[in-house]
């Protein structure tokens, strides 16, 4: 079972009378990108909060990197990183100070060098010594991701990583996620965007009304529908394609 990063069985959670998770089962393999797809309020964030030890489940079991989330939370926290729905960055510190702070909390040898490397990797070198309150939304998200990668945790949770980002920043996040997986990091991401799951994920699970109603690779999920018919349709560029073509993929800093 060495290659299983996340194993969830019969997970339940209620908020007062509202049963958000009825019985959730899922499994993510190491080094893969796993997408949890669901509409707003489906309970995706609740699953992430339980798996990252922020919330206790009412029932069922969940193991992350072989550690039980309820009985071995320290083991879980050692081996994961969470990037929440909103960039959790310290606005008053500079980008560099933010990364150094996380490196110090993870007790790394050389926090300054870690910061130089990660800020460089996320294109924040020029902005490193500016306060985060002056950053754009995309820059904040990049800093947020840089902070999550401090200490190279083998598993990263991304809770709706592209919600509220402009198309360019969204593509940047996608690129980063793909790079992470290429380097062997397991990525567990939640999203409400179908194209995001389609673009990134090795496996997709659909959370609906408290249960996983479909689970598999994109090809598996496609098989659930009747075979595709061939139709000829004129290809119209999407507004996103037009937007990106006009601005020429330039980075807006």
Partner 1 sequence: MHATQHHLFSDLGVMLGRSMRHVFRSLDTIITVTLTPIAMLLLFVYVFGGAIETGTDSYVNYLLPGILLIAIASGIAYTSYRLYMDKQRGLFERFHSMPITRSAVLWGHVLTSLVSNALSVIVIILVALVIGFRSPAGIGAWLGVAGILTLFTLALTWIAAIAGLSASSVDGAGAFAYPLIFLPFISSAFVPTESMPTLVRLFAENQPVTAIVEALRALLSAQPVGDDIWIALAWCVGIMAVAYVFAMRAYQKQV
Phi, psi dihedral angles at 237 (to 5 degrees): -65, 140
Contact 62, 76 (CB under 8 A): no
- In terms of CB distance, is 122 or 157 closer to partner 1? 157
- In terms of CB distance, is 82 or 212 closer to partner 1? 82
- In terms of CB distance, is 3 or 74 closer to partner 1? 74
- In terms of CB distance, is 124 or 206 closer to partner 1? 124
Residues in the chain: 253
Q: Is 14 in the site for partner 1 (CB under 8 A)?
A: no
Q: Where are the alpha helices (DSSP H) in the chain?
A: 44-51, 73-78, 95-105, 111-121, 137-148, 167-182, 194-200, 218-223, 239-247
Residue 154 has, within 13 A of its CA and on its CB side, a CA count of 15
Q: Is 130 in the site for partner 1 (CB under 8 A)?
A: no
Tokens representing 177? 């996620």
Radius of gyration in angstroms for the set of CA atoms belonging to the chain, rounded to a whole number = 19
Site string for partner 1, 156-195 (x = CB under 8 A): -x--------------------------------------
Q: How far is Cα 187 from Cα 200, in angstroms, rounded to an integer? A: 10
Q: Is 91 in the site for partner 1 (CB under 8 A)?
A: yes
Q: Is 15 in the site for partner 1 (CB under 8 A)?
A: no
Residue of 6, 26, 62, 82 that binds partner 1 (CB under 8 A): 82
Q: Is 92 in the site for partner 1 (CB under 8 A)?
A: yes
Q: How far is Cα 192 from Cα 185, in angstroms, rounded to an integer? A: 22
CB of 84 to partner 1, least distance (A): 5
Q: Is 128 in the site for partner 1 (CB under 8 A)?
A: no
Instruction: Map tokens 């080094």 to a residue.
Output: 31
How far CA 18 is from CA of 13, 34, 36, 129, 190, in Å, comes to: 9, 27, 21, 46, 21
CB of 235 to partner 1, least distance (A): 41
Q: Is 63 in the site for partner 1 (CB under 8 A)?
A: no
Q: Is 52 in the site for partner 1 (CB under 8 A)?
A: yes
Residue of 9, 18, 86, 245 that binds partner 1 (CB under 8 A): 86
- In terms of CB distance, is 132 or 197 closer to partner 1? 132
- In terms of CB distance, is 23 or 79 closer to partner 1? 79
Tokens representing 27? 């499994």
Q: Is 80 in the site for partner 1 (CB under 8 A)?
A: yes
- In terms of CB distance, is 147 or 204 closer to partner 1? 147
Burial code (b: 16+ CB inside 10 Å, e: under 16) for 62-91 equals: bbbbebebeebbebbbebbbbbbeebebbe
Q: How far is Cα 70 from Cα 50, in angstroms, rounded to an integer? A: 9
Q: Please give the residue ranges that form the binding site for partner 1 (CB under 8 A).
A: 49, 52-54, 74, 77-78, 80-82, 84-93, 97, 101-102, 104-107, 131, 147, 157
């Amino acid at each position: 079972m060495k290659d299983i990063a996340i194993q969830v069985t019969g997970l339940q959670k209620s908020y007062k009378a509202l049963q958000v998770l009825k019985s959730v089962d899922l499994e993510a393999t190491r080094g893969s990108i796993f997408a949890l797809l669901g509409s707003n309020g489906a309970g995706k964030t609740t699953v992430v909060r339980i798996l990252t030890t922020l919330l206790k489940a009412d029932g069922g079991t969940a193991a992350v990197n072989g550690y039980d989330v309820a009985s071995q939370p320290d083991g879980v926290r050692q081996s994961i990183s969470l990037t929440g729905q909103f960039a959790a960055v310290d606005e008053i510190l500079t980008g560099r100070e933010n990364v150094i702070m996380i490196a110090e909390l993870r007790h790394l040898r050389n926090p300054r060098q870690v910061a130089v490397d990660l800020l460089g990797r996320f294109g924040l070198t020029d902005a490193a010594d500016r306060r985060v309150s002056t950053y754009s939304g995309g820059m904040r998200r990049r800093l947020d991701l840089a902070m999550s990668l401090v200490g190279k945790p083998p598993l990263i949770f991304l809770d709706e990583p592209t919600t509220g980002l402009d198309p360019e920043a969204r593509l940047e996040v996608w690129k980063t996620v793909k790079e992470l997986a290429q380097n062997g990091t397991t990525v567990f991401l939640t999203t409400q965007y179908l194209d995001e799951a389609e673009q990134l994920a090795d496996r997709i699970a659909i959370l609906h009304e408290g249960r996983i109603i479909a689970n598999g690779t994109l090809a598996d999920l496609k098989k659930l529908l009747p075979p595709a018919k061939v139709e000829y349709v004129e290809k119209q560029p999407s507004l996103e394609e037009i937007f990106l073509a006009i601005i020429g993929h330039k980075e807006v800093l």
